């Protein structure tokens, strides 16, 4: 019903507006946990009635194995350009080469169809890149620390049970005990929720890692640093990470 009835009714309300007003289009290719690829297309426009910018999901399409720029361009043409291209003024992408490539990317192909089209690097992705770059300038590698902290609890039912028991004994949270959440580097909301949970439980974590437990955790982390042979773990990085615990 959502695909065959509500979708068409939803688009019908937008069609008349897009035919008469300027708008921008954002595209993002996503992959689910089963490995299937999808293309999300959203339209953005100024709403005079509410005096605000509106963002609406236009299409969410499953992709075939062909995820090249030309294949994505064909989908965007069928979904948007052929009917509404004359009012399209900007194309927003996450910066992936297949979309933003200046020679063979989708934005280059779209500019040949829509003269004067502006390509914009998504501000959310730009902010994420700024965070990553500044993150690397920190003296200590917080990323590895967070990963080890999360794994210490999520991969051990014993550690998890001890931590929950400590929260109950300390009556740390009146609403009940909380678990450490898994952290995903590529899922912003999940990453934020995970770090927010650690911040909320920080005092309790300090109490938990007092004494032998804390010493064991540090030694385990140092062994992890020296045992990794990945290129990402060079000597300089390892030195900075170890200094974090000294």
Bridge partners (DSSP) of residue 90 are: 24, 118
Examine residue 133 and state whether it is found in any structural domain, yes or no: no
Q: Do residues 18 and 60 share a domain?
A: yes
Shared domain check, 121 and 230? no
Same domain, 82 and 165: no
Those residues of the chain that have pLDDT short of 50 are 1-2, 212, 223, 225-246
pLDDT of res. 41: 94
Contact predicate 190/154, CB 8 Å: no
Please report the DSSP string for 40-95 in residue order.
Answer: EEEEEEEETTTTEEEEEEEEEEE--S--SHHHHHHHHIIIIIHHHGGGEEEEEE--
Question: Which pLDDT score is estimated for 3?
Answer: 53
Query: Which structural domain range is residue 106 located in?
Result: 2-128
Cβ atoms within 10 Å, residue 13: 9
Strand partners, 44: 24, 55
Q: Which residue, 100, 128, 156, sits at the end of a domain?
A: 128
Residue finishing a domain among 82, 101, 128: 128
* 88: number of Cβ within 10 Å: 22
Shared domain for 82 and 122, answered yes or no, is yes
Which tokens is 130 given?
């700024």
Radius of gyration of the chain (CA): 24
Phi/psi at 232 (5° precision): -70, -20
**In terms of domains, do 152 and 170 share one?**
yes
Say yes or no: 66 and 113 in one domain: yes
């Amino acid at each position: 019903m959502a695909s065959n009835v509500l979708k068409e009714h939803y688009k019908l309300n937008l069609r008349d507006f897009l035919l008469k007003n300027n708008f921008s289009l954002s595209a993002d290719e996503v992959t689910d946990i089963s490995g299937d690829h999808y293309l999300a297309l959203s339209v953005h426009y100024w709403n005079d009635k509410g005096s605000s910018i509106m963002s609406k999901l236009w299409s969410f399409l499953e992709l075939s194995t062909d995820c090249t720029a030309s294949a994505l361009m064909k989908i965007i043409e069928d979904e948007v350009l052929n009917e509404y291209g004359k009012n399209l003024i900007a194309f927003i992408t996450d910066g992936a080469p297949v979309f933003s490539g200046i020679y063979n990317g989708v934005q280059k192909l779209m500019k040949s169809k829509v003269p004067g089209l502006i390509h914009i690097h998504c501000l959310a992705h730009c902010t994420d890149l700024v965070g990553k770059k500044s993150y690397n300038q920190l003296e200590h590698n917080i990323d590895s620390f967070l990963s080890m902290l999360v794994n210490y609890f999520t991969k051990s039912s014993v550690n998890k049970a001890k931590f929950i028991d400590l929260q109950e004994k300390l009556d740390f949270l009146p609403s009940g005990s909380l678990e450490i959440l898994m952290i995903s580097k590529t899922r912003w909301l999940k990453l934020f929720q995970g770090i927010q949970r650690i911040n909320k439980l920080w005092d309790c974590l300090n109490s938990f890692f007092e004494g032998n437990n804390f010493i064991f955790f540090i030694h385990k982390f140092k062994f992890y640093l020296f045992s990794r042979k990945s290129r990402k773990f060079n000597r300089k990085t390892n030195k900075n990470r170890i200094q974090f615990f000294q």
